[in-house]
Structure 1
């Protein structure tokens, strides 16, 4: 019974950690700012670095904003299908926020119970659960990123509005696939670090028992 409870709590705790990492990565605009020069986005898009930053900042703030409003980029035109796609992306982020909030509450309760009972086994289970996720995800991404990218969109969206025509939605020119690859790598690396951190804390606490 205790083992089952540990597994359930470890899954919840893992969900909290992963959702936190995803939220952090999405809000970490410096990664994109680096890619503006690294991927030569001004040349690809024909826009100035300042314009690119302004429009990217708008997209991120729009997706993270709790107040729903019409999608309207500062200086790049959008088609109706393009606007619908970004609204759907925003809905996904709002679901992620709810998952984060629920897992946070449950994790706090679980942590209190485990601390009172001096139970640290959940840290080891969480570490293993977290390390499995990068191993499962990284293989298809490394072997065929383009295919993984397409499959991800087909799973997440029930239409093809994410396939942008640059003439109708030139915003796609400032969002190269390589940037999403870098963001995915950042998420995977942070998950691995979180896994190792959980295991190190477990080993330290185990020695003190």
Structure 2
């Protein structure tokens, strides 16, 4: 397999793993339900526990659907800026779906060619890149998650509508930054598990390759 093909497959696998990990973590409602108790979110709002959960469910369902429904939280008021922000988040999730789908197709084709040429090095390369990313991101989050959180928002959005005021957008009271930290930790854990899985598969296939030779 040519070097450019190895690099393409490595990058495609990395995109697929990252996109799928983000999708799984942000759609894992059980994490938020746990945080409702763990972070005592009920103390920051007038909503009941079940209303908090149903509001979160609405947000997740809204950003996951490609329907052009108007953003309107059933139990809380929201500003025009908040509606724009969640529409932008929805657009990011739609793009993430495209990345996930396209990287899955390229990765599947690449795996076929890996088997054909008996060259499994992209699995090892991708695993190493994931570990390097994990070290950098976990270190950054540990040093100052608040700055990292703000940095990612500034990169992903070209406005400051994500800076909600509790007076106009009380939904921010049920979305504490600690919850997003837990999401980030879950994403990192998922990609590390992927990395370990790729390394195990690489070693097994490489061992089988040497035996067959």
TM-score normalised to the size of structure 1?
Answer: 0.97
Q: What is the 5 A alignment of 1:94-109?
A: 94-109=94-109
Structure 2 equivalent of residue 42 of structure 1:
42
2-side partners of 1:42 and 1:201: how far apart? 45
Which consecutive residues of structure 1, in runs of 5 or more, have no partner in the other structure?
A: none
Give the deviation of 1:4 after TM superposition.
Answer: 3.1
| Equivalent pair of 1:11/1:129 in contact (CA under 8 Å) | no
1:81 aligns with 2:81: yes
2-side partners of 1:145 and 1:123: how far apart? 30
Q: Deviations over 1:123-169 (max 9, x none)?
A: 11111111111112112211011111111111111111111110100
1:174 aligns with 2:178: no
Structure 2 equivalent of residue 114 of structure 1:
114
2-side partners of 1:118 and 1:109: how far apart? 14
1-side partners of 2:10 and 2:154: how far apart? 29
1-side partners of 2:37 and 2:173: how far apart? 14
TM-score normalised to the size of structure 2?
Answer: 0.95
Which consecutive residues of structure 2, in runs of 5 or more, have no partner in the other structure?
A: none
1:65 aligns with 2:57: no
2-side partners of 1:32 and 1:124: how far apart? 34
Q: In angstroms, what is the RMSD of aligned CA positions? A: 1.1
> Displaced runs of 4+ in structure 1, greater than 6 A?
none
Q: What is the number of residues matched between the two proteins?
A: 209
